[in-house]
C-alpha cells in the first residue's frame, strides 16, 4: 500500500494578464495549424524530438497518478515492414467486410483505404499502449500482483493529446491511426498481457506533395456552453 504523500508548496509561475493572453493566443494559433497527415517523407527525424514528445506526454495527469502508459518507438525498417503488412491485412478485411456501410459512408469523403505506405515511409512509429492494470511483485513471495488502474482510458487519451501537441510544435507531422483490431501490435512488439494497443502514430515530415482534405473544425460557439457571466 502507498503511504500518504508528502506535500510541498506549489511552484507556480505568475504571469501578467498581457503575457497570459499572448501565450494563450500563440498556442491556439500554432495548434490550429495541426493537420492529420497520411503521406510522409522518409526524411530522418532527430530522435530527441520524439523523446521530448514522449517525456511531455508522460507529464499528463492520470488516475491516482498511475501513469498507465507505455510508448513503443519503432524505427527499425524490418519491424515497420512487419507492422505495415499486418495492419494492411486487418484493414483490408475491415474495409472489405467488417466495417458497416454507415461507417464506410461516414469516412468516404476522406478517401482512405486499406493501403498504409506511411507505416514504412514515416521514420518513426510510436505505438501507445494502455496498461489495463499494473504488475508488481509481492515483496515476500515474489508472486505477481495485479494492481487495478483507474481511468486508464482517459489518462492515456490526455497523454496522447500532449504527445501530438509536442510533435506538432516541434515541426513534425503525425497520423492518429487505429487499425482495427490492433492485437497484432502486441504480438509483433512482444508486449505483456496487461498492455493494450491504444493508437499507432506515424511521425515524420510530410511528403513534399502531401495533401489534406479541406475540412473545418467546429466554432467556439458550437463547442462551448456557458453558465454565468
Ligand atoms: N482505420 C481505418 C479507417 C478509419 C477510421 C476512422 I473513425 C478514421 O477517422 C479514418 C480511417 C483507416 O485507418 O483507414
Indicate if ligand 1 lies below 6 Å from the C-beta of 176: no
Query: What does DSSP assign to residue 94?
Result: I
Q: Does 46 reside within a domain?
A: yes
Closest residue by Cα to atom 9, ligand 1, is 107
Q: What is the pLDDT of residue 151?
A: 98
Q: Given a cut of 70, is residue 181 above it in pLDDT?
A: yes
Digit-coded pLDDT (tens) for 49-79: 999 999 999 999 999 999 999 999 999 999 9
Q: What is the pLDDT of residue 180?
A: 87
- Work out the percent of the chain whose per-residue pLDDT is above 90: 97
Q: Does 211 reside within a domain?
A: no
Indicate if ligand 1 lies below 6 Å from the C-beta of 179: yes
How far is 224 from 63, CA to CA, in rounded Å? Answer: 25
Indicate if ligand 1 lies below 6 Å from the C-beta of 64: no
Report CA(34)–ligand 1 centroid distance (Å): 18
Q: Does 98 reside within a domain?
A: yes
Q: Does 113 reside within a domain?
A: yes
Q: Does 164 reside within a domain?
A: yes
Q: Given a cut of 60, is residue 1 above it in pLDDT?
A: no
* Average of per-residue pLDDT across 77-87: 98
Q: Does 53 reside within a domain?
A: yes
Number of structural domains in the chain: 1
Substitution candidate for ligand 1 out of 178, 198, 199 with most atoms within 8 A of CB: 178
Q: Does 217 reside within a domain?
A: no
**Domain encompassing residue 97:** 37-206
Q: Given a cut of 90, is residue 12 above it in pLDDT?
A: yes
Q: What is the pLDDT of residue 19?
A: 98
> 79 CB contacts (<8 Å, ≥6 apart)?
188, 189
The string of DSSP letters for 17-77 reads HHHHHHHHHHHHHHHHT--B---B------HHHHHHHHHHHTTS--GGG---EEEEEE--H
Report CA(160)–ligand 1 centroid distance (Å): 17
Digit-coded pLDDT (tens) for 120-167: 999 999 999 999 999 999 999 999 999 999 999 999 999 999 999 999
Q: Does 161 reside within a domain?
A: yes
Report CA(73)–ligand 1 centroid distance (Å): 22
How far is 82 from 88, CA to CA, in rounded Å? Answer: 10
Number of neighbouring beta carbons within 10 Å of residue 128 = 24
Indicate if ligand 1 lies below 6 Å from the C-beta of 116: no
CATH number at residue 78: 3.40.109.10
Indicate if ligand 1 lies below 6 Å from the C-beta of 202: no
Report CA(6)–ligand 1 centroid distance (Å): 45
Amino acid at each position: 500500500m502507498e503511504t500518504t504523500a508528502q506535500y510541498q508548496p506549489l511552484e507556480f509561475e505568475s504571469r501578467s494578464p498581457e503575457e497570459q493572453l499572448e501565450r494563450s493566443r500563440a498556442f491556439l494559433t500554432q495548434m490550429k495549424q495541426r493537420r492529420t497527415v497520411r503521406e510522409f517523407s522518409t526524411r530522418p527525424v532527430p530522435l530527441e524530438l520524439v523523446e521530448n514528445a514522449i517525456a511531455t506526454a508522460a507529464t499528463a495527469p492520470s488516475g491516482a497518478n498511475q501513469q498507465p502508459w507505455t510508448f513503443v518507438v519503432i524505427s527499425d525498417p524490418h519491424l515497420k515492414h512487419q507492422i505495415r503488412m499486418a495492419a494492411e491485412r486487418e484493414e483490408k478485411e475491415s474495409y472489405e467486410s467488417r466495417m458497416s456501410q454507415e461507417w464506410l459512408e461516414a469516412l468516404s469523403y476522406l478517401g482512405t483505404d486499406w493501403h498504409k505506405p506511411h507505416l514504412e515511409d514515416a521514420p518513426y512509429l510510436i505505438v501507445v499502449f494502455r496498461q489495463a492494470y499494473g504488475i508488481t511483485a509481492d515483496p515476500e513471495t515474489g508472486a505477481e500482483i495485479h494492481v487495478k488502474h483507474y481511468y486508464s482510458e482517459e489518462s492515456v487519451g490526455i497523454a496522447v493529446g500532449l504527445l501530438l501537441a509536442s510533435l506538432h510544435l516541434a515541426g513534425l507531422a503525425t497520423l492518429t491511426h487505429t487499425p482495427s483490431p490492433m492485437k497484432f501490435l502486441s504480438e509483433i512488439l512482444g508486449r505483456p498481457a496487461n498492455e493494450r494497443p491504444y493508437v499507432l502514430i506515424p511521425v515524420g515530415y510530410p511528403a513534399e506533395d502531401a495533401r489534406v482534405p479541406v475540412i473545418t473544425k467546429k466554432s467556439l460557439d458550437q463547442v462551448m456552453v456557458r453558465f454565468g457571466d
